[in-house]
Amino acid sequence: MASIDLIFLVVGALVAAFVSGLSGFAFGLVSLSFWIWRFPLAEVSALVIFGSLVSQATAMPSVLRHLDVKLLTPFILGAIVGLPMGTVLIAHIDLGWFRLGVGLLLMAFAFFQLVIGPRLRPLQGGGFAIETAIGWISGVLGGLVGLSGVAPAMWAVVRGWGKDRQRGLFLAFNSFCHVVALIGLAVAGYITATTLQRFALLLPCLIGGAWLGTRAYGRVSPEQFRRIVLMLLAASGIVLTVQNGWQALSG
């Protein structure tokens, strides 16, 4: 591996794992900003899923006492149905326009919540059926564009949940989705000997970055955590819009 590739790989893993350890999601957003320029897309998908899974597993012990299994269950059930549906839909949807639409939605939601959200009361209600639907949407988004974490993050903001509850949900739910996705990549033959070597190289960077992110989380107030989540959602939207906007509009 060239020296510049190694630098991109290691720095991307450290920064993305730190953000994931801090927020509970967004590993893919951060790592792709480093890796997409240096590595083949098929290999990047496996690296992102593996890196996200390891960083979230490293941070998981810090949220076990806050993990609400009853809350997590409907999201998981919905995702079980949504993940394979999203994978099947890849062949039937214009992904450029779809990513552009998701990007614009994320930006609008995040900026609205940053500006107007503090004046609004948290949404009351919800329930098993609605949260199962949110999990289904997350699964479809995960299968289509690898964004399984954004729908639960948006829902948690609207409901006004505390930072511990949000982070516990993000970590547990995304870990489940990534395990399923990693198995799918392995079955499809996308994980090669070279990929396994990169996994081994990334492992200490992922664990170290996630540990530092977990330590930083303890210093973040609930309002700061809310802003971090919204800024990461906005960044996801900006990246999707920039990457796919010109391509979709130009045909």
pTM of the model: 0.81
At 1 the pLDDT is 67
At 211 the pLDDT is 96
Q: Is it the case that residue 108 has pLDDT exceeding 70? A: yes
List Cβ neighbours of 119 (8 Å cut-off, separation of 6 or more): none
Q: Is it the case that residue 41 has pLDDT exceeding 80? A: no
Comparing 111-120, 131-140, 143-152, the range with the smallest average pLDDT is 143-152
Annotate 55-93 with b (16+ C-beta within 10 A) or e (fewer): bbbbbbebbeeebeeebbebbbbbbeebbeebbeeeeee
At 51 the pLDDT is 92
pLDDT digits (tens, 9 = 90+) for 88-105: 887 787 767 777 888 888
CA distance 60 to 75: 18
At 220 the pLDDT is 92
47 compared with 249, residue with greater pLDDT = 47
pLDDT band, very low/low/confident/very high, at 200 (cuts 50, 70, 90):
very high
- Going by the DSSP 8-state scheme, the letter that residue 68 receives in this structure is -
pLDDT digits (tens, 9 = 90+) for 180-195: 888 877 887 878 888 8
